[in-house]
Amino acid sequence: MTEDQSDVILEVRNLVVEFSSEDGPLRAVDGVSFAVRRGEIVGLVGESGAGKTLTSEAMLRLVRCPPGRISGEVRFRGQNLLALDEPALAGIRGKEIAMIFQNPGASLNPVFRVGDQLLEAMRLHLREPARSLRERVGEILGRVGIPSAATRARDYPHQFSGGMAQRVMIGIGISCVPSLLIADEPTTALDVTIQAQVLALLRSLARELGVAVLLVSHDLGIISQMCHRVLVMYAGRIVEEADVATIFRAPAHPYTRGLIDCLPRMDGSARLGTIAGVMPGLRSLPSGCPFHPRCPLAEPRCAEEAPKLRSAGDHHSAACLLVGT
Ligand SMILES: Nc1ncnc2c1ncn2[C@@H]1O[C@H](COP(=O)(O)OP(=O)(O)O)[C@@H](O)[C@H]1O
Ligand SMILES: [Mg+2]
């Protein structure tokens, strides 16, 4: 992957998502910044409640939070998506930026045939005659690995297994040839063997089509198999960022080390590691470093000072006061 800035297709700067409560604003996403380059697969990982889904949905203004707010900048092809009017943004969502969610069953409409839903997704964005789009339906379903695609196009969603339904969602996602695909826990609802097949499909499509992927998952194992670069999220913040080899070889943040220690080993034996405690809720965020109450290395200053992301090596940063000391 080159470091040429012209390769950057998405740049998120200081993204904040706040909800309001009687006790004041609750900050669920707290100043998140990152970039995605053309054709790159970037992983966003962290335990449940870290703010991964809100981050990915807020980028496309899919979070309803009034009287809370979304702020920051989401630059895509030179435009700030957070400042676009709704019709302009609707022209980008589903076309240039596609989204795939955890539960494919809920994303498909039960009363329409699968092929018609794929056709409709293309009709919404592509100015091509209906007949040529209709011909593409079978082609796309075949490409995402649905056997007897032309026949299956006439089936309804309930006739598809979870894995096959997620393949359909991926087909809808790539149907308009996006430059970015955001996949939020795309295989979490699937059996392990099916999970591996769907991930392999995502990876090969990303490579063949040159589409960049932001892969959101609580599972560092999945992220390690799929991604070039990793963003580790905790309590609404990015706490570490590095390429995937560096994350595993030289993790700088104790939270990242904790996630790695929880992974099953190659020989099948479980590691002993667990991270004590749980992710704090928005109403009870700790002072200083939000990870300090769970951190095996915490010092008194960690309860006072909130660490900013700082360099931990080449193209590697971590938000921990102990980094570089
Ligand atoms: N509409 C909402 N109102 C208030 N809090 C919310 C809302 N949606 C999400 N949250 C909170 O924001 C935090 C991050 O949620 P989410 O982005 O779904 O986490 P993740 O996807 O990493 O599991 C959680 O603490 C969640 O409870
Ligand atoms: Mg989520």
Q: CB atoms < 10 A from the CB of 279, how many? A: 18
Which single residue is written with the structure tokens 């002993």?
272
Residue 48 in contact with ligand 1 by CB distance below 6 A: yes
Model pLDDT for residues 256-266, shown as the tens digit of each residue: 999 999 888 76
Ligand 2 centre and the CA of 54: distance in Å?
Answer: 7
What secondary structure letter does DSSP report for 139?
H
- pLDDT at residue 3 greater than cutoff 60: no
d(CA 312, CA 241): 9
**CA–CA separation, 97 and 85 (whole Å):** 16
The dihedral region occupied by 288, where left means phi > 0, alpha psi between -120 and 50, and beta the remainder, is left
User: Two tokens at 111?
Assistant: 């009363």
On whether residue 21 sits in a domain, the answer given is: yes
Q: Which two tokens stand for residue 121?
A: 């997704």
Q: How far apart are CA 79 and CA 67, in angstroms?
A: 25
pLDDT reading at 112 higher than 80: yes
Q: How high is the pLDDT of residue 72? A: 98
What proportion of the chain, given as a percentage, has pLDDT over 70? 96
Query: Is residue 275 included in any domain, yes or no?
Result: yes
Looking at the CA of residue 57, tell me the nearest atom of ligand 1.
Answer: 17
User: For residue 110, which of 76, 152, 159 has the smallest C-alpha distance?
Assistant: 159
Segment 172-198 shows an average pLDDT of: 95
What average pLDDT does this structure show over 217-240? 97
Q: Sorting pLDDT into bands at 50, 70 and 90, what band is 29?
A: very high
In a domain, 147, yes or no: no
**Closest-approaching ligand to the CA atom of 46:** 1
Please tell me the predicted confidence (pLDDT) of residue 48: 95
Give yes or no for residue 317 CB within 6 A of ligand 1. Answer: no
Is pLDDT above 90 for 236? yes
State which ligand 1 atom lies nearest to the alpha carbon of 236: 14
Q: Sorting pLDDT into bands at 50, 70 and 90, what band is 1?
A: very low
Whether the pLDDT of residue 2 is over 80: the answer is: no
Closest residue by CA, ligand 1 atom 4 = 19
Q: How far does the centroid of ligand 2 lie from the alpha carbon of residue 300, in Å?
A: 32
Residue 67 preceded by cis peptide, ω within 30: yes
In which element (H, E) is residue 25 found? strand 24-37
CATH of the domain at 80: 3.40.50.300
Asked if residue 75 is part of any domain, the answer here is yes
pLDDT at 274: 80
Closest to 156 measured CA to CA, from 100, 119, 109, 107 = 109
Whether 134 is in a domain gets the answer no
C-alpha 49 to ligand 1 mean position (Å):
6
Task: Measure 176 CA to ligand 1 centroid, in angstroms.
Answer: 30
Domain of 283 in residue numbering reads as 5-88+217-318
Residue closest to 258 by CA, chosen among 295, 286, 228, 222 = 295
Summarize pLDDT for 266-320 with one digit per residue, the tens: 666 655 678 889 999 999 999 999 999 999 999 999 999 999 999 999 999 999 9
- Taking only the tens place, the pLDDT of each residue in 40-61 is 999 999 999 999 999 999 999 9
d(CA 46, CA 279): 10
Question: What does the pLDDT look like over 46-104, one tens digit per residue?
Answer: 999 999 999 999 999 999 888 779 999 999 988 999 999 999 999 999 999 999 988 88
Identify whether 292 is part of a domain: yes
Q: Determine the pLDDT at residue 324.
A: 80
**Candidate of 32, 44, 53, 69 to mutate for ligand 1, largest count of ligand atoms within 8 Å of Cβ:** 53
Per-residue model confidence (pLDDT) at position 163: 95
User: Residue 180: which H helix or E strand, with range?
Assistant: strand 180-184
pLDDT at 270: 59
Q: Which residue's C-alpha comes closest to atom 27 of ligand 1?
A: 49
Question: What pLDDT sits at residue 106?
Answer: 83
316 pairs with which residues across the strands?
A: 313
Nearest in space to 189 (alpha carbons), one of 162, 211, 215: 162
Cα–Cα distance for residue pair 20/69, rounded to 1 Å: 8
Ligand 2 midpoint to CA 185 (Å) = 7
- Does 189 map to a domain? no
Judged on CB neighbours under 10 Å (0-12, 13-18, 19+), 319 is: buried
Ligand 1 contact via 282 beta carbon (within 6 Å): yes
68 lines ligand 1 (CB under 6 A): no
Q: Is the pLDDT of residue 215 over 90?
A: yes
| Euclidean distance between CA atoms 314 and 301, whole angstroms | 26
For residue 65, is it within any domain? yes
Name the domain count of the chain: 1
Tens of pLDDT, residue by residue over 119-134, are 999 999 999 998 999 9
* Full-model pTM: 0.95
